[in-house]
């Protein structure tokens, strides 16, 4: 992989989850990256104008829009910028959209710094290693239900209708903690 880099590897982390963003930034700084962070699309655009990073980690859902909007800006400013998309709501359609926009990988949250760095530094065209601890089927189901619930503006009746599920069953599922 032939990526032109500055003396220090620069990284932009765009995620609206402040605790996660801070933890990941600290971990990546320990790995030798000069990290800039952004909590919104507007803030990410400002950081990109200030200095386009060598690498970027972008959350799919930011408070002020879709993280996919940032990918073309990064690729336009620096064609060899390696972008990894993060999401708590993984699905095939958004993964395909992220890759078409120019992201090199698409990772489901929670993701640790090792996983993120492996995706950023993976050789082009290489197949990623399978996860050591993939999400359980119960966790995938729970994530899907949460995603639809959010898309329905947290309306239980509409979510139950879209999932073809009884409303009380959905309420019981939503009241429980997420499975591991």
pTM of the model: 0.68
Question: What are the backbone dihedrals phi and psi of residue 101, each rounded to the nearest 5 degrees, phi first?
Answer: -75, -20
Same domain flag for 102 and 141: no
The CATH number that applies at residue 15 is 3.40.50.2300
Which residues are bridge partners to 14 per DSSP?
38, 58
Strands 65-66 and 61-62: antiparallel
Number of domains in the chain: 2
CA distance 160 to 5: 49
Same domain for 104 and 144?
no
Q: Same domain, yes or no, for 144 and 96? A: no
Q: Which two tokens stand for residue 165?
A: 């599920």
Predicted confidence (pLDDT) per residue in 30-79, tens digit: 999 999 998 889 998 999 888 889 999 998 888 888 888 888 888 888 88
Q: Identify the domain containing residue 98 by its residue range.
A: 9-121
* In the block, residue with structure tokens 């990623």: 128
Question: Does some domain include residue 151?
Answer: yes
**46 in the same domain as 76:** yes
Note whether 25 and 105 are same-domain residues: yes
43 and 116 together in one domain: yes
pLDDT of residue 91: 65
Q: What is the CATH number of the domain that holds 158?
A: 1.10.10.60
Q: What is the pLDDT of residues 106-157, one digit of tens each?
A: 887 778 888 888 888 887 766 666 666 677 788 778 878 887 888 888 899 9
Q: Which of 76, 92, 121 is the last residue of a domain?
A: 121
**Do 116 and 155 have their domain in common?**
no
Whether 19 is in a domain gets the answer yes
Residue 74 forms part of a structural domain:
yes
Provide the mean pLDDT of the chain.
83
Does some domain include residue 127? no
Task: Specify if 130 maps to a domain.
Answer: no
Considering the domain architecture, whether residues 54 and 93 belong to the same structural domain is answered as yes
CA distances in angstroms from 71 to 66, 74, 104, listed in the order given:
10, 5, 10
Question: Do 115 and 45 lie in a common domain?
Answer: yes
d(CA 159, CA 96): 25
Q: What is the DSSP string of 39-102?
A: SSHHHHHHHHHH---SEEEEESEETTEEGGGHHHHHHHH-TT-EEEEEESS--HHHHHHHHHHT
Angle at which helix 18-30 crosses helix 113-121, to 10 degrees, equals 60
Assess whether 117 and 146 both reside in one domain: no
Question: Among candidates 35, 30, 44, which has minimal Cα distance to 9?
Answer: 35
């Amino acid at each position: 992989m032939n990526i032109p880099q500055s003396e220090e590897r620069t990284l932009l982390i765009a995620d609206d989850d402040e605790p996660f963003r801070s933890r990941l930034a600290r971990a990546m700084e320990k790995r030798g990256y000069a990290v800039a962070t952004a909590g919104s699309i507007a803030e990410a655009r400002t950081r990109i104008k200030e200095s386009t990073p060598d690498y970027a980690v972008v959350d799919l859902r930011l408070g002020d829009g879709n993280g996919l909007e940032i990918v073309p800006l990064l690729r336009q400013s620096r064609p060899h910028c390696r972008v990894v998309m993060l999401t708590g709501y993984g699905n095939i359609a958004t993964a395909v959209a992220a890759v078409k926009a120019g992201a090199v990988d698409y990772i489901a949250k929670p993701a640790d710094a090792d996983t993120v760095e492996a995706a950023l530094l993976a050789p082009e065209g290489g197949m990623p290693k399978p996860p050591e601890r993939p999400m359980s089927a119960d966790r995938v189901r729970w994530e899907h239900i949460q995603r639809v619930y959010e898309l329905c503006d947290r309306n239980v009746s509409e979510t139950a209708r879209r999932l073809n599920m009884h409303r009380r069953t959905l309420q019981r599922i939503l009241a429980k903690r997420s499975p591991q």
